Structure 1
Amino acid sequence: MNDVRGNALGTASASARDAVEKALWRMMSFYDVPMADLDLAIAADPAWPLPHVMKAGFLLSLTEPALVPEAQTHLERARPLMARGTPREQAHFAAVEQVADGRWHGACRIWDELLIDHPRDALALQWGQLWDFYRGDAAGLRLRPARALPAWDEADPLFPCVLALYAFGLEENNLYAQAEEAGRHALDIDARVPWAVHAVAHVMEMQGRFEEGNTWLRQHQPVWAEGNGFAGHLWWHKALFRLEALDVAGALRIVDKQLSGDALQITLQRLDAAAMLWRLHLLGHDMSAACATLLAGWDTSEGSAGYYAFNDVHLVVTMLAAGEVSRAEAWVARCAERALDGADARRANHVLAREVGLPLLRGLLAFGRGEHDSAADALYAVRGQLQRLGGSHAQRDLVDLTLLSAAARGMRRALGQALVRERLMAKPATPMTRHWMDALEML
């Protein structure tokens, strides 16, 4: 039996096939989680390994260290069934095993090779995009879907989802006009593609089109704001547009209503809250109470430190904004211990943490201690390597904003002014940029 794209499946059950297809759509559109659909697939064909592999991959995609054991349990359930899996399904199993073992680069190589022979493998495209994003591989974000898209039929229900992957990859490679065109085209085909809404929002953020971006998200809000796991991140983008306009009250309203309390169920959602609270902190607003509340729900258990440097950065700035400098220092020390542990060298995050994560974290600690010149020097030194941290240009802008704040508060005014000039070449002088121009005595 084949799926709707002609990929061979290791099942003869139409019910199992259809349940997996529904789960795949959920994974690409973020409408609810895929676990119940995968349970239906397992019930329809208990000997088919792919649903177990998909469960494991989905859990790992949340970047939660606490979920790794559960993901490994699903992989162990799949292992004795893999002889029945097709070569494509066996490759997915191998890739997800690599992810579970911290070897993210190896997983992406497997998905790359898989897509050469199976360009219509939507699961490989989705997972490849996520782990390219986590690894900061901008080229992969664009080129992997670019290699696959010409092989797709535009009538395929998942085509707009794949086009949205391409749109985001174009944006992260600064190809803004093409990215916006692809994102809008995806939404013309199917309005229920939040990743396409997201790609166009990123274009508008990078071009300083903050009022247009706010309107864009509001226009599509009925589709993404309810029943969608990606809603929190799009609310973060909406708050980001308000902050670019220096509408602090508007940004705070979004934080209070959409980026706090029960809205924060997983680390990926806490990252958005942390990123916004830190930006407000840099503007001089006391966010200590909100940050303390955010920390209370964060997994700070022993095994979490050093799992993924991008997450560590957001946790540390939350600690600093909460006024818990000693706690932040202790966390960074735990991250360093893990990064320098030779037994952990196989992890993709090992070299990243040592070469990018730790220097960045130490620069942030210096900022938190009020050592602004040291912070500016440390952050500027690592700035050229930031893409390796993972995330998007918009998310990593947190570091540049911290650098601007450190320069304005210390003696590195010339450095801060140079960074503002760089910013002005990329997008118009928004109210946020003018704020930093004023702080750096450029007005």
Structure 2
Amino acid sequence: MAALHDDRGLLTGTSSQPAMAAAQRALWRMMSFYDPPLADLDDAVAHDPHWLLPRLMKAGFLLSLTEPALLPQAAQVLDDAVPLEADAPARERAHAAALRMVLEGRWQAACRAWDEVLVAHPRDALALQWAHLWDFYRGDALNLRLRVARALPEWEEGDPLYPQVLALHAFGLEECHLYPQAEEAGRRALALDARTPWAVHAVAHVMEMQGRCDEGATWLRAHQPQWAEGNGFACHLWWHAALFRLETLDTTGTLRLVDAHLAGDALQVTLQRLDAASMLWRLRLLGVDAGPRWRALVAGWPLVDEQAGHYAFNDVHAVIALLGAGDVPRAEAWLARCAARALSAEDARRSNHGMAREVGLPLMRALVAGVRGDAAATVPALYGIREGAARFGGSHAQRDLIDLSLLAAAADTDDADARAIGRAVLHERLLAKPPTPMTRHWASRLGLSPRAAGRLA
């Protein structure tokens, strides 16, 4: 039988309709986050054991979770797939090569490889999804926007995956500060398919960056029936809901959301645990005692020594969790293990090598110094990190933790230079978006000049 083409007209390595259908379901799940794709991928392999792509999709899904513990499993899947490559289409072999780069930690090289795939096959949704994720993990805002923009005009609006691709575009626009365009794209994606949580997410980011707290909370509630149940992205969207609460200084409501949606069984992977750590840290900066929540978070976080240094963004949040739990020696030990790996010549090819050296390690050291009471040293250290902070991944909203930590440290010291830095950073905030209760809080703590404070009126 002849090899089939998928729903986008791309040649595949299978002639099995059931295998194709299962793989297409898995692809939709990978882009929409509705249930893990693994069962569908296993189904595809069962229908056609000789088809390479479903095995690659499984390996890619495991790698996309940024869990060091899953690397051996992903490696085994890729190794088992090697004999299938000889008869696979060139596009599928290109995916295999890119995933091996990811496995080796060469994330930027993998994104370049996927870009080559997309130039030839702009409707390869898998290449778009994976490149977008690793652009995000690398903090590459420009390619979050441009990579999708190069492909999007080739897509038909009637394609079932078009809303998911449009949502990727919306997020890239937002991370490049193109807020009206991002909101329009996100809303259009949801008008086409309400089950597009990445679009809900993109618009929530717009509202966060513009200080539209009440509107953002309403936005998430309006779409909650679609994302809150049976969706792997729910934890992060609850984090956004808590972020809107916190910006209004509703710390009690924020804690309720943490307890209900950012704790216990809701935290299955590190990408979810870091959301919990991030929110608890923000509360801590405002003087809120989270009590045993910190210890419970650390207890459920498998912080295996050998896994330190895999991804700087995750490592920073692990240190935050340990500091919040009061375990400063263990936080310092984790930092030391990350530093040893970042300084190792063996790791020099990994994207995380530069991410850790340039941002991750200095940030962890600054946070530890702050907890140890050296606010005067913490403020200039954090200030120096800000310019290149995107290098260690995440979004603008997630990296705002750096500025908030700086403001809190500046407010907690009598050092005139440190307080001046805090006020300068707060000036940026006052010009970037309308004042919020949190902005007013830091203005009061830092003693803004009457002229600057006039912007709070």
TM range (shorter): over 0.9
Secondary structure of residue in 2 paired with 1:83: coil
What are the ranges of 5 or more consecutive residues in structure 2 without an aligned counterpart?
none
C-alpha deviation, 1:357, in angstroms? 1.1
Quick one: distance in 2 between partners of 1:104 and 1:190? 31
Secondary structure of residue in 2 paired with 1:80: helix
Letter in 1 for 2:304: S
Letter in 2 for 1:380: Y
1:368 aligns with 2:374: no
CA contact (8 A) 2:305 2:334 kept: no
C-alpha deviation, 1:302, in angstroms? 2.1
Quick one: distance in 2 between partners of 1:288 and 1:310? 25
Partner of 1:96: 99
CA contact (8 A) 2:248 2:436 kept: yes
Partner of 2:426: 420
Greater alpha carbon shift after TM alignment, 146-155 vs 284-293? 284-293
Percent identical residues: 65
Secondary structure of residue in 1 paired with 2:85: helix
Partner of 1:291: 294
Q: Deviations over 1:24-72 (max 9, x none)?
A: 0000000000000000100000000111110000000000000000001
Quick one: distance in 2 between partners of 1:54 and 1:40? 12
Quick one: distance in 2 between partners of 1:244 and 1:314? 20
CA contact (8 A) 1:98 1:106 kept: yes
Quick one: distance in 2 between partners of 1:14 and 1:370? 63
Letter in 1 for 2:427: R
Letter in 1 for 2:338: C
Task: Name segments (4+ residues, structure 1) moved above 2 Å.
Answer: none
Quick one: distance in 2 between partners of 1:399 and 1:53? 36
Greater alpha carbon shift after TM alignment, 93-102 vs 351-360? 351-360
Question: 1:92-241 alignment to 2 at 5 Å?
Answer: 92-241=95-244
Quick one: distance in 1 between partners of 2:353 and 2:423? 34
C-alpha deviation, 1:287, in angstroms? 2.2
Quick one: distance in 2 between partners of 1:439 and 1:308? 34
Q: Deviations over 1:135-177 (max 9, x none)?
A: 0000110001100010000000000000000000000000000
1:53 aligns with 2:71: no
Quick one: distance in 1 between partners of 2:366 and 2:85? 47
What are the ranges of 5 or more consecutive residues in structure 1 without an aligned counterpart?
none
CA contact (8 A) 1:366 1:372 kept: yes
Quick one: distance in 2 between partners of 1:343 and 1:260? 36
Quick one: distance in 1 between partners of 2:61 and 2:284? 33
1:384 aligns with 2:387: yes
Secondary structure of residue in 2 paired with 1:84: coil
1:433 aligns with 2:439: yes
C-alpha deviation, 1:288, in angstroms? 4.4
Calculate the TM-score normalised by the size of structure 1.
0.99
Q: Deviations over 1:323-362 (max 9, x none)?
A: 1111111110010000001111111101111121111111
CA contact (8 A) 1:288 1:323 kept: no
Aligned length: 443
Question: 1:386-405 alignment to 2 at 5 Å?
Answer: 386-405=389-408
CA contact (8 A) 1:335 1:358 kept: yes
C-alpha deviation, 1:274, in angstroms? 0.5
CA contact (8 A) 1:316 1:361 kept: yes
CA contact (8 A) 2:22 2:43 kept: yes
CA contact (8 A) 2:380 2:421 kept: no
Partner of 2:350: 347
C-alpha deviation, 1:292, in angstroms? 0.9
Secondary structure of residue in 1 paired with 2:231: coil
Quick one: distance in 1 between partners of 2:354 and 2:255? 37
Letter in 2 for 1:386: A
1:304 aligns with 2:307: yes
Quick one: distance in 1 between partners of 2:184 and 2:355? 34
1:78 aligns with 2:84: no
CA contact (8 A) 1:288 1:321 kept: no
Partner of 1:30: 33
Quick one: distance in 2 between partners of 1:365 and 1:157? 48
Quick one: distance in 2 between partners of 1:201 and 1:378? 30
Calculate the TM-score normalised by the size of structure 2.
0.96
Partner of 1:257: 260
Secondary structure of residue in 2 paired with 1:424: helix
Greater alpha carbon shift after TM alignment, 299-308 vs 186-195? 299-308
Alpha carbon RMSD of aligned pairs, Å?
0.7
Quick one: distance in 2 between partners of 1:355 and 1:145? 27
